[in-house]
């Protein structure tokens, strides 16, 4: 395998021989996608890759310019690569744009699997755990109540809720990170795209934080991260600097805003398509909670709500192609030899629409999760992998799960979401895929539920 060093891996990837048979890794012939790649950016790339899986199977190669990528399309092969062989596929490909937005690879999501990355990951993971344990539930509850007030203020008018969902999700993560609710910009999502201004504002906050007495306040993530920097043990000492805290904060703000907000918008849209599901969730919330708002610990008593959450995550995993991985050594997937440096695309959207696992995969059927263990609905939470897995598992998974649960429970307890009377068509569920899979904007009426139980 050492002989591969220094060679252009993409060229000989074509000649892959599966370890167990003489067939080469399948895939579309030639540079099929080069011309189409830019167009596909605005179309639905995950659907396109999923359609190719019908022809080429759950693992295939794809040529794109000078790079050849390997696309994984079933939960089985994705788990083999990301979880079972995590130490072979924990790398990230280096890209020009990635380098610009990540301060030269100093963030968690785009940083390669190095000793520095591991130290940064340890630091962020432990800070996140500590702060979430103390205050996550309270912070989300406060934001959920605020969101209810905002919706009440619309007084039944038809509105596009995407901005309100973005503000709510953004407030959760900025409160956790800085102990403040809003960064000084009303359109936070846009701000995050402007790297320079983003860095200026986050840098200013970190500096203020360092100089303030709050520095030792480990209840907020930045306090905890900065304290962690001070306490670096000798092993990590030379590794991490302020830029790693800065970029990790950016990671959490970006990861924690767009994803949750996009998911909430999908959930409401799917419920407009099947209003009877909304009624079932509402009945369950009324019966189980007897008028109070839920806690995350109530989730085991709210299976209908949980099935709705799982089904929306299945149909619209908000990071449909995860983040590309890179093989950091020669390895294999499904018996195919995969050389070091190969770019791996985990097609989570494809895995969630695999007809071998999910009967009627394109239909919105939360009930499939209620029939787990023998029913006819098919599908199991084991095959649900919206957060990826292994060394690169979404760092915010536990934050996200609590947010999705509490926000949706609060919203569906207090409001009935309806298609505006003036609207003749239901929201378009095809979505627009970039890194985050979002729904095209649509309007909805949030009608307050009666205060008493039905
Ligand atoms: C990475 C999904 C919410 C922070 C990821 C990945 C996925 C994902 C698929 C890539 C995994 C891979 O590379 O294999 C989701 C979904 C969310 C969500 C579906 C909500 C519905 C969040 C939140 C945060 C967050 C709330 C922060 C608080 C991150 C970070 C990474 C990441 C930092 C990079 C991890 C790494 O490269 O090791 N997420 N995410 N995510 N997510 Fe999330």
Instruction: Flag residues of the chain having pLDDT under 70.
Output: 1-23, 30-43, 182-196, 213-218, 233-238, 371-379, 452-454
Other residues' Cβ atoms within 10 Å of the Cβ of residue 5: 8
Determine the distance separating the centroid of ligand 1 and the alpha carbon of 316, expressed in angstroms.
14
Looking at 25-114, list the stretches that DSSP marks H as alpha helix, in order from N- to C-terminal side. 34-42, 45-56, 75-79, 96-101
Q: Give residue 195's region: left, alpha or beta (phi > 0; psi -120 to 50).
A: alpha
Rounded CA-CA distance 186/109 in Å is 25
Atom of ligand 1 nearest to the CA of 390: 14
Determine the distance separating the centroid of ligand 1 and the alpha carbon of 255, expressed in angstroms.
6
Q: Does ligand 1 lie within 6 Å of residue 108's CB atom?
A: yes
Residue closest via CA to ligand 1's atom 11 equals: 388
Atom of ligand 1 nearest to the CA of 391: 38
User: Who contacts 141 (Cβ-Cβ below 8 Å, separation ≥6)?
Assistant: 293, 406
Q: Can you give the pLDDT at residue 36?
A: 42
Determine the distance separating the centroid of ligand 1 and the alpha carbon of 20, expressed in angstroms.
34
Classify the complex by whether its ipTM is higher than 0.90, answering yes or no.
Answer: yes
- Report pTM: 0.89
Give tens-digit pLDDT for 206-261: 888 777 765 566 678 888 888 888 777 555 556 888 888 888 988 998 888 899 99
Q: Does ligand 1 lie within 6 Å of residue 258's CB atom?
A: no
Determine the distance separating the centroid of ligand 1 and the alpha carbon of 202, expressed in angstroms.
20
Q: Does ligand 1 lie within 6 Å of residue 252's CB atom?
A: yes
Q: Does ligand 1 lie within 6 Å of residue 311's CB atom?
A: no
Atom of ligand 1 nearest to the CA of 392: 38
Rounded CA-CA distance 215/206 in Å is 9
With beta carbons less than 8 A apart as the criterion, state whether 326 and 343 touch: yes
Determine the distance separating the centroid of ligand 1 and the alpha carbon of 406, expressed in angstroms.
19
Atom of ligand 1 nearest to the CA of 317: 19
Q: Can you give the pLDDT at residue 14?
A: 43
- Choosing from 46, 116, 257, 396 the residue with most ligand 1 atoms within 8 A of its CB, the one to mutate for a pocket test is 396
- Choosing from 255, 326, 344, 388 the residue with most ligand 1 atoms within 8 A of its CB, the one to mutate for a pocket test is 255
The sign of the CA dihedral 112, 117, 121, 127 is negative
Q: For the chain, how big is the Rg over CA atoms in Å?
A: 23
Give CA 255 to chain center in angstroms: 7
Q: Does ligand 1 lie within 6 Å of residue 263's CB atom?
A: yes
Q: Does ligand 1 lie within 6 Å of residue 320's CB atom?
A: no
Atom of ligand 1 nearest to the CA of 111: 37
- Choosing from 387, 392, 431 the residue with most ligand 1 atoms within 8 A of its CB, the one to mutate for a pocket test is 387
């Amino acid at each position: 395998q050492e002989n591969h060093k220094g060679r252009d891996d993409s060229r000989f990837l074509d000649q892959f021989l599966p370890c167990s048979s003489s067939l080469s890794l399948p895939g579309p012939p030639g540079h099929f996608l080069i011309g189409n790649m830019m167009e596909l950016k605005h179309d639905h790339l995950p659907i396109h890759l999923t359609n190719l899986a019908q022809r080429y199977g759950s693992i295939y190669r794809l040529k794109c310019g000078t790079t050849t990528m390997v696309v994984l399309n079933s939960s089985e092969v994705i788990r083999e690569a990301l979880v079972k062989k995590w130490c072979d596929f924990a790398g990230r490909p280096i890209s020009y744009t990635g380098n610009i937005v990540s301060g030269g690879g100093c963030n968690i999501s785009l940083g390669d699997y190095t000793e520095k990355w591991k130290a940064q990951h340890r630091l962020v993971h432990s800070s996140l755990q500590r702060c979430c344990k103390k205050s996550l539930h309270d912070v989300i509850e406060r934001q959920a109540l605020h969101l209810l007030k905002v919706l009440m203020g619309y007084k039944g008018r038809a509105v596009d809720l995407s901005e309100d969902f973005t503000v709510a999700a953004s407030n959760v993560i900025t409160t956790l990170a800085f102990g403040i609710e809003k960064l000084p910009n009303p359109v936070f999502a846009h701000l995050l795209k402007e790297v320079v201004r983003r860095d200026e504002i986050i840098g200013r906050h970190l500096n203020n934080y360092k100089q303030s007495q709050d520095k030792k306040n480990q209840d907020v993530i930045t306090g905890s991260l900065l304290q962690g920097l001070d306490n670096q043990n000798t092993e990590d000492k030379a590794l991490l600097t302020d830029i790693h805290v800065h970029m990790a904060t950016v990671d959490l703000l970006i990861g924690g805003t767009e994803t949750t907000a996009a998911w909430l918008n999908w959930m409401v849209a799917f419920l407009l398509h099947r209003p009877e599901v909304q009624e079932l969730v509402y009945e369950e919330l009324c019966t189980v909670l007897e008028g109070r708002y839920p806690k995350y610990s109530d989730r085991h008593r709210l299976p209908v709500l949980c099935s709705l959450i799982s089904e929306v995550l299945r149909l619209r995993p908000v990071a449909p192609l995860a983040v590309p991985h890179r093989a950091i050594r020669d390895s294999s997937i499904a018996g195919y030899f995969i050389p070091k440096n190969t770019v791996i695309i985990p097609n989570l959207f494809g895995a969630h629409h695999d007809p071998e696992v999910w009967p009627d995969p394109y239909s919105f059927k939360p009930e499939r999760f209620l029939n787990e263990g023998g029913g006819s609905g098919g599908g199991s939470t084991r095959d649900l992998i919206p957060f990826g897995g292994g060394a690169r598992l979404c760092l915010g998974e536990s934050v996200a799960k609590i947010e999705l649960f509490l926000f949706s429970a609060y919203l569906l307890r207090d409001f009935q979401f309806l298609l505006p009377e003036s609207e003749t068509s239901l929201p378009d569920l095809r979505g627009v895929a970039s890194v985050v899979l979002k729904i095209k904007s649509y309007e909805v009426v949030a009608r307050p539920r009666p205060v008493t139980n039905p």
